[in-house]
Amino acid sequence: MQNKDVLNRKNALVNKHLCNFIESKFLREYYDQEGNIVSQNKYAKLCGITSSTISKLKLSAGYDVPMSTIYNILRHERYSLEKFFKEFENAKGINIPD
């Protein structure tokens, strides 16, 4: 079994890649559900998250993103969890830390 530090580093790497993927897919420009460009603050409200959460997602180092945050963004984007994670897996592979 791997020690806790190794697992924490691997988890941090997965979170980094996940945040970077979310940022590249949804957080370069912000849209409402009608396709209009909106501000980061407006987008955050539409998703049911805070603007500071979006700022954390956009950090190159990423952060430990809760599943609820991912779900809120995907719900706003009308994107299924299955489709999102399949695209993430196709882009990053299934063994990111290894």
Q: Dump pLDDT digits (tens) for 69-82.
A: 999 999 999 999 99
pLDDT category, 36, cuts 50, 70, 90?
Answer: very high
How far apart CA 79 and CA 73 sit, in angstroms, is: 8
Residue 38's pLDDT band (boundaries 50, 70, 90)?
very high
pLDDT classification of 9: cutoffs 50, 70, 90: confident
73: nearest Cα among 53, 89, 92, 93: 53
Binned at pLDDT 50, 70 and 90, residue 89 comes out as: very high
Higher pLDDT, 93 or 1: 93
**Structure-block tokens of residue 97:** 């830390």
Dihedral sign, Cα of residue 75, residue 81, residue 64, residue 23: negative
Question: How far apart are alpha carbons 56 and 73 in whole angstroms?
Answer: 14
Sign of the Cα pseudo-torsion (25, 28, 32, 35, in order): negative
Residue 85 to residue 29: CA distance in whole angstroms: 21
Q: Is the pTM of this model over 0.85?
A: yes
